[in-house]
Structure 1
Amino acid sequence: MLGEMPVWYLFLGGSGAGLLLVTGVTMLFVPSWDRMVSHGIAGDLYGVGGVYGCLARLFVPACATAAVLLVVGISCLALDLGATDRAVLLFFSPRLTFISAGAWLLSAAVLVDVALLAAWASEPSRRRRHGRVLPIAAVLLGFAVAAYTGLLLQSLSAVPLWETPLLPCLFVLSSLSCGVALMVVVVKLSGVADRFEAVVRRWESIDVVVLLAEAACAAGFLVVQIARARSGDSGTLLALGASLQTLLAGADAWAFWGVFGCVGLAAPLAMALASIRFKPSPLVPFAQVACALAGAFAMRWSITAAGVHPILQSAGLS
């Protein structure tokens, strides 16, 4: 029902939001400069090898990656609208819609992300100045954008497959899983991974919980929608049944079961559990992020593609 650009918009916006959220949470656990000094931590805190110097080498690429994902996501939204003036009008529309609200949220997320990037790439005094305000804003906006990508589809009530609060929950968990996987890769590429081994271990443990919750949410989404489809024979329920047939056993089944289920959920979960119990290969985080991103895109693409309008279904045009 929707074209390819909205799917990329949902995927890139969600992944960027997930990384922004994870980066903000990580920043909130960094001790303040005054606290570190009061505890008598010696050494050059801001030097290349100092605590804050190493953190800058982590947070700068993390913020830069999140910014790229969010900006490209916004570009996909603008391209889908087909004209620059229509994209600009989103910010000045007298009536607040889900799309215009999303444009504002994405723009705010990019601004906060760039502000954090500038702070960590600048002089130490500026890093101290932002305190906890910007990281908290990053967490809130990251969550809001991730939830919005699912709420956007849920708001299209003409498509019964998307009409459930479990869809935004699934999108949030998927975005968070992508964010965690991207953060682990950024740590590995930062050049100071040995300083953040505890951070990696903690996020890997959290990722296991997130992946299990995402699998449970996906199963709940299917159970609820299958139960709805069997509860009657109205045009809406017939359209829902047709959507489920397409998603689970039709043309898009390979993407949902194979790429999302096996590659996007089972494989990252197995790799995360193995990384916690055994010493993993240096290539495991890169394989894990590739699987997480592929699964996240496949989930959004297959669910979006399976959306069937009741009118089209009743007319035999779907």
Structure 2
Amino acid sequence: MRGALYGSLVIVYLFLGGAAAGALFVMSAWSFAFRRSENPARLLTAFESLRSRTYTVGFLLLAFAMICLLGDLGNPGRALMVFFLPHPTVITFGAYTLAIEALLAALLLAASLPNSPLTLRGRWLDIVEALCCIGALATMAYTGIFLFQGSIPFWNHWSIIVLFVFSSLSSGVSVVLLIDWFTQGQSLLLRATKPLQICHVACLAVEVVFLTLFVNAAFRNPLADASLSLLMEPEMLAIAGVGVIGMGIALPITLETYSITRKECRAIPVSDFICLLGGLCLRYCLITCGVH
């Protein structure tokens, strides 16, 4: 029964929803700061291009995450009831949080398009981007709350919420940096992303702290023994060691730190690809071990 409640769609939903919210938070916060600094016209044009692309990707990822959530609910009628006959449940909170964040992303996307009839400037843009940041934080937190409230011993520690927030932020930074790298032919921002890379390393460091707290709490909880036994099996341990710790934390920290210390910009964003894979592995391990 638990496996049916937390299937593969939930894993994809939690990963994509968190990564999308992280990217929208990073882009909105960066946009807010960027407008308050002196920048040449060419850099401003490049940033607007990156901003529009990031809001597009963030919106699409959120939309797909919502499809996964609604698909996991089983039938269209139940999915519609979440919105039209809401009850005070975590699922309802998550559905509305995703929907509101998607609407804010769509609004920012529409306003960022060239020749768009919708314009957001000055205070109005500040307000919408601030709301987008708040909605993104709520969405990232929800991806952890969704598991924390599930009455499953392996997840029964508050650190899983903070862990998912910083894992989502880390994934979001990677999404933005990947978009920036793929558009570098039109964008001049590769050298301007050094502060973002520093933030990425900081997110990963905090993620290490709360992953350690979570694992320590699980080992101290005798009711989580079955989940830990599955985690210690060779196949799952390999995914946790190589995927979660290696690809999700150790390699990105190493590669980002090396890149930060170099004068030239990054040649290939390897750390961002593997960081996203590591974030997916984290959710796979926690959910799979929790429900068995």
TM-score exceeds 0.5: yes
- 2:145 matches 1:151: yes
Equivalent residues of 2:247, 2:275 under 8 A apart: yes
Counterpart pick for 2:71 among 68, 79, 82: 79
The alignment yields a C-alpha RMSD, in angstroms, of 2.1
Equivalent residues of 1:248, 1:257 under 8 A apart: no
Give the 3 Å change call, closer, same or farther, for CA 67–226 of structure 1 in structure 2: same
- 2:82 matches 1:95: no
Equivalent residues of 2:14, 2:283 under 8 A apart: yes
Counterpart pick for 1:282 among 267, 277, 287: 267
Any residues of structure 2 matched to 1:178-193 within 5 Å, and which? 178-190=171-183, 191-193=185-187
2:247 and 2:48 map into 1 onto residues whose CA distance is 33
Give the 3 Å change call, closer, same or farther, for CA 275–50 of structure 1 in structure 2: closer
1:219 and 1:187 map into 2 onto residues whose CA distance is 32
1:101 and 1:175 map into 2 onto residues whose CA distance is 18
- 2:292 matches 1:298: no
Counterpart pick for 1:258 among 225, 237, 242: 242
In the other structure, the counterpart of 2:8 is 4
Counterpart pick for 2:257 among 273, 289, 295: 273
Deviation of residue 280 (structure 1)? 5.4
- 2:237 matches 1:245: no
Once the two structures are aligned, what percentage of the paired residues are identical? 26
Match of 1:307, SS state, is helix
Equivalent residues of 2:19, 2:169 under 8 A apart: yes
In the other structure, the counterpart of 1:233 is none
Give the 3 Å change call, closer, same or farther, for CA 167–50 of structure 1 in structure 2: closer
Equivalent residues of 1:246, 1:252 under 8 A apart: yes
Deviation string, structure 1 residues 206-263 (Cα, Å, up to 9, x no partner)? 111111111121111111221222xxxxxxx2xx111112123454222211111111
Question: How many pairs align?
Answer: 284
Equivalent residues of 2:166, 2:203 under 8 A apart: yes
Gaps in structure 1 of 5+ consecutive residues: 230-236, 309-317
Equivalent residues of 2:101, 2:136 under 8 A apart: yes
> TM-score scaled by structure 2?
0.91
Match of 1:194, SS state, is coil
1:134 and 1:70 map into 2 onto residues whose CA distance is 17
- Moved runs in structure 1, 4+ residues, more than 3 A? 122-125, 248-251
Equivalent residues of 2:23, 2:169 under 8 A apart: yes
Deviation string, structure 1 residues 97-121 (Cα, Å, up to 9, x no partner)? 1111101000001000011111111
Aligned-partner residue type, residue 174 of structure 1: S
Give the 3 Å change call, closer, same or farther, for CA 281–59 of structure 1 in structure 2: closer
In the other structure, the counterpart of 1:205 is 198
Gaps in structure 2 of 5+ consecutive residues: none
Give the 3 Å change call, closer, same or farther, for CA 112–72 of structure 1 in structure 2: same
Give the 3 Å change call, closer, same or farther, for CA 196–119 of structure 1 in structure 2: farther
In the other structure, the counterpart of 1:14 is 18
Equivalent residues of 2:22, 2:173 under 8 A apart: yes
1:91 and 1:221 map into 2 onto residues whose CA distance is 33
Deviation of residue 305 (structure 1)? 0.5
In the other structure, the counterpart of 2:188 is 194
Deviation string, structure 1 residues 265-285 (Cα, Å, up to 9, x no partner)? 1111111011011235521x1
1:184 and 1:134 map into 2 onto residues whose CA distance is 23
In the other structure, the counterpart of 1:116 is 108
Counterpart pick for 2:35 among 19, 28, 31: 31
- 2:120 matches 1:136: no
In the other structure, the counterpart of 1:162 is 155
Aligned-partner residue type, residue 274 of structure 2: C
2:174 and 2:12 map into 1 onto residues whose CA distance is 19
Match of 1:164, SS state, is coil
Aligned-partner residue type, residue 147 of structure 1: A
Equivalent residues of 1:15, 1:176 under 8 A apart: yes
1:93 and 1:254 map into 2 onto residues whose CA distance is 43
Please say which structure displays the higher CA radius of gyration. Answer: 1
In the other structure, the counterpart of 1:314 is none
Deviation string, structure 1 residues 111-144 (Cα, Å, up to 9, x no partner)? 0001111111144881416320111011111111
2:23 and 2:132 map into 1 onto residues whose CA distance is 10
Match of 1:126, SS state, is coil
Deviation string, structure 1 residues 151-208 (Cα, Å, up to 9, x no partner)? 0110011x1001111001111111000111111122222334434522x100101111
Aligned-partner residue type, residue 19 of structure 2: S
1:228 and 1:152 map into 2 onto residues whose CA distance is 20
Give the 3 Å change call, closer, same or farther, for CA 274–79 of structure 1 in structure 2: same
2:50 and 2:194 map into 1 onto residues whose CA distance is 16
